[in-house]
Amino acid sequence: MTTVPQPPARPHPVRKAGWWARTPKAPYLFILPYLIIFLTFWAWPILSSFMMSFKDSRLGDTAPFGLANWSRLVQDEFFRTALRNTLVILVIQVPLMLSLATVLAVALNSKLLKAAGWFRFAFFAPLVVGTVAYSAVFRLLFNTDFGMVNRGLTGLGLPAVDWLNQSGPAMTVLILAMTWRWTGYNAIILLAGLQGISEDVYEAASIDGATPWQQFWKITLPLLRPSLLFCLVLSVIGTLQLFTEPALITNSGPGNSTMTLGTYLYQQGFRSFNFGYASAIAYTVAAIAAIFSVVQLRLFGRDE
C-alpha cells in the first residue's frame, strides 16, 4: 500500500472568502417563493407591456419596434380629453371628499357621540357594497324620467335635469357617486390619525383659553397632516386610475365627456384590442401618478 504523496499544504489564503461564500443563503431561500412570483407576475408583465408600447400590436406578434403608439399619443385628442376629465375630477372631487372626511372624522371622534361604533360602520359601509350594485342604484336614482332625484327636484318646483345625457350633469353624478363611496373610507383613516393625537395637547390648549375652533385649526389639522397626506396621495392615485364609476354609471358618456384615463385605456385595450397603444397610455398614467406623488410629498410632507 502506497501512500499518495500529498501536495504541499497551500499557504493559508490571505484573500477573504468570495462574495458568494460570505453571503448567507438562508434568508434568500426564504424569500425565493415571493421573488419568483414577483418576477413572473409583476416584473415580467411590467417589462413586457413597456416593450409592447413600442409595437403596433394590431399587426400581430411579428410587428417591428417603433414609435407609432407614442407619436399617436402625443397627437391624440381623445387622450387629452380623458386627461382633462380626470384632472377635473381630481381638482373638484378629491378636495371635496377630503374636507368632508375630515369633518366627519372629527364628528366621529367626538365624545358627545353616542353609538360611535355604529356610526363608524355606517359611514364605512358604502365601501362594502358591490360596485356593480351601487352603480346600478345611482343610474336609477338619476334616471331622467323615473329617477328619485328628479322626482324630488320637480316636487320642490325645480326643473328636472337630464342627468346622464348631458356632460356637466353626468360629471356631477360621477363626483357625487365617488364622494358617497369613498368619504367614509377616508374618514376612518383620518379618525385613526385623530386618535393618535394626545389628549394632553388639547387639555393644555383649553387651559390656555383656546376655543374649539382655534384648537381645530391650530392643533388638529397640523397634527393630522401625515394622515391627510396619506389620504391625499391614495386618492390622487385612485383618481388617476379611475375606472369603475365612469364605466358602469356613465359609460364614459355622453360622448366622451366622462371618459377617464382608465376607461380610455380599457377602450383601446379591450374594445379595439390595441394592446400596444393601451400600454403606452398605461405608462403615461403611471408617470403622471409618480410625478403627482413626488410633488405632494415635497409640498405637504416637509418635516416628516
Partner 1 sequence: MKKLALLTALALASAASAQSLSGTVTVWSWDAAAKALESTIPSFNKKYPNVKVNVVDLGNQNVYDRGLAGCAAGGADMPDVYSIENNEAEVFWARFPNCFTDLNTLGADKLAKNFPAFKWTELMAGNKRFAMPWDSGPVVIFYRRDLYQQAGVNANAIKTWDDFIAAGKKVNAKFDGKVKMGVVANGQDDEWFRMLANQNNCFYFDNAGTSVTVNKTGCVDALTTIKKLYDAQVVATGDWGGQITSFKAGRSASAMFGAWYEGTIRTNAPDQKGKWGVYPMPANKAGGVRAANLGGSALALPSSSKNKAAAYAFMENALATTNGQVTMLKSQGLVPSLLSATKDSYVKVAQPYWGNQKVWQTILDTLGDVPQARGTQYFQDARQVMIVVQADYIKGKYKTAKEALDDAAKKISSATGLPVAK
- For residue 63, the minimal CB distance to partner 1 (Å) is 11
Q: Is residue 159 part of the contact set for partner 1 (CB under 8 A)?
A: no
Rule CB under 8 A: choose which of 28, 44, 78, 217 binds partner 1: 78
Q: Is residue 267 part of the contact set for partner 1 (CB under 8 A)?
A: yes
Give counts: helices (H), strands (E), the chain: 16, 0
Q: Is residue 72 part of the contact set for partner 1 (CB under 8 A)?
A: yes
For partner 1, which stretch binds (CB under 8 A), given 30-38, 160-168, 204-212, 226-234?
160-168
Burial status of residue 260 (CB atoms within 10 A of its CB: 0-12, 13-18, 19 or more)? buried
Q: Which three cell numbers stand for residue 58?
A: 394590431
Q: Which is nearer to partner 1, 227 or 274 (CB)?
A: 274
| Cβ 189 vs Cβ 231: under 8 Å | yes
Q: Is residue 49 part of the contact set for partner 1 (CB under 8 A)?
A: no
Q: Which is nearer to partner 1, 147 or 184 (CB)?
A: 147
Q: Is residue 215 part of the contact set for partner 1 (CB under 8 A)?
A: no
Of 298, 293, 294, 261, the residue nearest 280 (C-alpha): 261
Determine the longest span between alpha carbons in the chain, in angstroms.
117
- For residue 62, the minimal CB distance to partner 1 (Å) is 12
Q: Say how far apart CA 254 and CA 169 lie, in whole Å.
A: 10
For partner 1, which stretch binds (CB under 8 A), given 17-25, 118-126, 192-200, 263-271?
263-271
Helix (H) or strand (E) holding 172: helix 167-195
Q: What angle do CA 11, 14, 17 make, to 5 degrees?
A: 110
**Of 238-257, which residues contact partner 1 (CB under 8 A)?**
251, 253-257
Residues that bind partner 1 (CB under 8 A): 56, 58, 60, 68, 72, 75-78, 143-146, 162, 165, 167, 251, 253-257, 267, 270-275
